[in-house]
Amino acid sequence: MNDSRPIRAKSGTNHEGTSAHNRRVMIDALRMNGALSRADLARATWLTKQTVSNIIEELERDGLVRSQAAVRKGRGQPSTPYGLVPEGAFAIGLQIDRHVTRAVAVDLVGSVLVRDEAGLPTGGPSEGAKVILDLVAGVRAKLAGIVQQSEKRLVGLGIAMPGPFGVAGSGDDPWMMEAWQKFPLLETLTAGTGLDVGLQNDAAAAATAERMVGAAHGLDHAVCLFVGYGIGAGLILNGELYRGTNGNAGEIGMALLFADGKSTPLEHRASLASLYQHLSIDPADPDLHAEINDRVLRGDPSVETWIDAAAADLRWSIHLIETIFDPQTVILCGSASEALVNRLIAAIGPLLPSIAERRGRTLPRLQPGMADPWSVALGAAAGPISRAFDPHFAAILKDSL
């Protein structure tokens, strides 16, 4: 009787897990509220003044927080607020798109310090990887030129690229993303950069960015509907990005819609790819974003047609998202121009009725998020920062070390 199937269990925790959690809670509180005194932190986190003092002292030694001028407010000793030190940590974010790759260096509070892009060669991933590694190296070098000791404070490299991941030949994107799926990207970049490398799809990256510095800041339940070359949803559930079993949660581009007796993936109806096709524009055009932005602003009728059609699908998608997730808000963001997102939001309204319509709402059901070609790279960088500093269950467990 060799009953040797592996035992499945969650990991336990210990003092270090406790301490790590409390550190993260402090950082999170400072990120959400701005600078706070030790006493404020103690009240907010339910920890004792003494514990907060110890942790703050430690965080200050580590260069993650810094005291500000004392504040007098009423009776009692003035409080000394502590705030996050932006240059306390950095991360590199990398977006791999069809024709281009973008990299940014981001600091602890989500400011982009360096940005750079490069065209991706048509030779496929093995050639592309060289371009990418060069790009990342360049961004790191520039960062090192701006701030001292940046390399020591680099917490990781986050990659964002179109999903879904690990699915055999969907086949309807001829433009090489499939080749990237098979390429050992994480291994190559880990080896090539020496950094901790993480991967998410571009909608998830957009959501991560919104959570760190955008419309989802401080929210526990929000869904970012991301209109890029494809379309996807980034899910913030219980204050964390939800990834699903294989990192493909939210990849709604492949959702089939039935209309006029035939089924079409959502992606073919409401995505920049569909817009490019509608306009007969070459998606490899380097002036793409400017061109689209321009056409949106001057009300190009062909663009308007697409917007109305896409808005109808998005309106229904938002209804469905509200119904399924019961989020605090839905955020519409994209890799295209702000102007396009705003036009889309205008065209989407009024929203379909749903359970999101309730008395006492404070947040709008739908709000605009970041919309520019760099937001995905920013979100990619936000990934490692969140992993390193945000409070979450996994960070408490012993097996996370």
Partner DNA sequence: GTAATAAGTCAAGACAATTGACTTAATAAG
Partner DNA sequence: CTTATTAAGTCAATTGTCTTGACTTATTAC
Degrees to nearest 5, angle at CA 29 with 24 and 33: 155
Binding test (CB under 7 A) with DNA, winner from 29, 40, 112, 316: 40
**Backbone conformation region of residue 46, classed left if phi is above 0, alpha if psi is from -120 to 50, else beta:** left
User: Is residue 70 a contact point for DNA (CB under 7 A)?
Assistant: yes
User: Is residue 357 a contact point for a copy of itself (CB under 8 A)?
Assistant: yes
Could you tell me the strand order of the sheet in which 366-371 lies? 240-241, 231-237, 222-227, 329-334, 366-371
- 29-88: which residues touch a copy of itself (CB under 8 A)? 29, 32-33, 36, 40-41, 43-47, 51, 73
User: Is residue 289 a contact point for a copy of itself (CB under 8 A)?
Assistant: no
Residue type, 168: A
Pick what 54 binds: a copy of itself, DNA, none; C-beta below 5 to 8 Å, kind-dependent: DNA
User: Is residue 240 a contact point for DNA (CB under 7 A)?
Assistant: no
Secondary structure of 285-334 in HEC code, one letter for each residue: CCCHHHHHHHHHHCCCHHHHHHHHHHHHHHHHHHHHHHHHHCCCEEEEEE
Nearer to a copy of itself, 52 or 296 (CB): 52
The candidate with the shortest Cα–Cα distance to 278, out of 287, 270, 289, is 270
Answer positive or negative: Cα dihedral of 338, 339, 342, 344. negative
Nearer to a copy of itself, 254 or 303 (CB): 254
Binding test (CB under 8 A) with a copy of itself, winner from 112, 118, 281, 397: 397
Q: Which helix (H) or strand (E) holds 57?
A: helix 49-61
Write down the least CB distance from residue 306 to DNA, Å.
54
Binding test (CB under 7 A) with DNA, winner from 24, 33, 39, 173: 39
User: Is residue 51 a contact point for DNA (CB under 7 A)?
Assistant: yes
**Strand pairing of 100-107 and 112-119?**
antiparallel
User: Is residue 15 a contact point for a copy of itself (CB under 8 A)?
Assistant: yes
Pick what 69 binds: DNA, a copy of itself, none; C-beta below 5 to 8 Å, kind-dependent: none
Nearer to DNA, 78 or 184 (CB): 78
Q: Token pair of 43, please?
A: 């009240």
The candidate with the shortest Cα–Cα distance to 367, out of 341, 340, 389, 388, is 341
Binding test (CB under 8 A) with a copy of itself, winner from 75, 152, 262, 358: 358
Residue type, 21: H
Q: Which residue has the tokens 């959501």?
A: 207
Nearer to a copy of itself, 73 or 152 (CB): 73
Nearer to DNA, 77 or 238 (CB): 77
Site mask, a copy of itself, residues 301-340, x = CB under 8 A? ---------------x--xx--xxxxxx------------
Binding test (CB under 7 A) with DNA, winner from 30, 31, 37, 329: 37
Contact present, 139 and 103 (Cβ < 8 Å):
yes
Binding test (CB under 8 A) with a copy of itself, winner from 1, 69, 76, 350: 1
Distance CA 48, CA 59 (A): 16
Q: Token pair of 350, please?
A: 């009024």
Pick what 318 binds: a copy of itself, DNA, none; C-beta below 5 to 8 Å, kind-dependent: none
Write down the least CB distance from residue 68 to DNA, Å.
10
Q: Token pair of 238, please?
A: 């219980």
DSSP string, 72-92: --SSSSPB-EEEE-GGG-EEE
Write down the least CB distance from residue 273 to DNA, Å.
49
Pick what 245 binds: a copy of itself, DNA, none; C-beta below 5 to 8 Å, kind-dependent: a copy of itself
Binding test (CB under 8 A) with a copy of itself, winner from 78, 123, 166, 194: 166
Q: Where are the alpha helices (DSSP H) in 150-258?
A: 177-182, 185-193, 202-213
User: Is residue 11 a contact point for DNA (CB under 7 A)?
Assistant: no
Residue type, 304: E
Contact present, 374 and 335 (Cβ < 8 Å):
no
Q: Which residues would be at the binding site for DNA (CB under 7 A)? A: 12-16, 18-19, 22, 37-40, 47-51, 53-55, 70, 72, 74-80, 398
